Structure 1
């Protein structure tokens, strides 16, 4: 029997409409159930950040809206998004080809969108709550 490998965890800004839309996109396309989720504002999200040496308050100055915890390592910016796309499989793996671009370019584009996400897509007053069927995939 292969060793247990915990699911990859996507940490996201729970009040960001773009981030919530991204999480719902991943849920729709993650047929294998590879990913689980935690809002950055949740107790579980804050605990995961602390376990990796990040303070939740640091996110106010660095607009990381999506982080990926995979294999004990935390990925941010474009690396997180591209690893998630690759993990979805199928046609979404094509997005991972963007890794051929210099990371500084990819991360600049990521940061630009992240900086403007509330203005362009809006924000909620509270975190999105999963349906009872999806609750098991959220920390």
Structure 2
């Protein structure tokens, strides 16, 4: 039976697994999650640097959260995705409101995935940051507790 990669299955995958404590603390919420893309939102308030602008590191956290979750969602059976590279180009910022991130896979191979995450201000659609993350698919021993946790989350989806 083929893996269900629909938006409903993706959102259930996120609900069953959560985005993680850091993402929860930063207020990251997911509105779309499918084989083709992930869409999430993050408030600027609470995620700023000392001068009041959205912290560049917050963009990186948002990008890594989405890229890693998506890589694990589409991971081959018996594998987990682990990040091996991430970079960000900040081309704008935000001082208030919310930003939206759209994550798309730009390479899905047998052993690696590359995702591009474009983060824009909701107020005017201007791009704040472009994040790119590469994940490696690590094969886990069938008795590894981490694999059992990952597989349980996939089954719950």
**Considering the TM-score relative to the shorter chain, is it more than 0.5?**
no
TM-score (norm 2): 0.27
Greater helix share, structure number:
1
Name the one with the larger strand percent: 2
- Structure scoring higher RCO (CA < 8 A, sep ≥ 6) equals 1
Of structures 1 and 2, the larger Rg is shown by: 2
